[in-house]
Amino acid sequence: MSTIAAKVATPNGGKYVRQVCKHWSHKFEVEVEGDTGKVHFPSAVTTMAGDEEGIAIEITGEDKATLERLTEVVANHIDRFAFREGSLNYEWSWQ
């Protein structure tokens, strides 16, 4: 298993986690508890924890290429909900 992670600065972390999880709940298995969410994609699991400082994101799966592709998918979806802030800064690193 491989994991890629990022911390994204935003004062609305919890709000965005809840919104993106609700959005994906129509297509994937999603778990939400407070400002923490987990999305079960077919080949990876994304865990997000939000607070007033930002969002901690981890994507775990078998295939690194899939994980790299999901970094863009996750970032694009969060950015849609954060449109008032403009594009957020995602610094991904392998764990």
Q: Domain locations in the chain? A: 2-85
pLDDT in tens, 57-83: 999 999 999 999 999 999 999 999 999
State which amino acid sits at residue 85.
E
The whole model's pTM is what? 0.95
Q: How far apart are CA 91 and CA 12, in angstroms?
A: 18
List the strands of the sheet with 2-9, edge to edge: 29-33, 36-41, 44-50, 54-61, 2-9, 93-94
- Which class would CATH give 2-85? alpha beta
pLDDT in tens, 5-17: 999 999 999 999 9
Q: Which pair of tokens denotes residue 49?
A: 């924890």
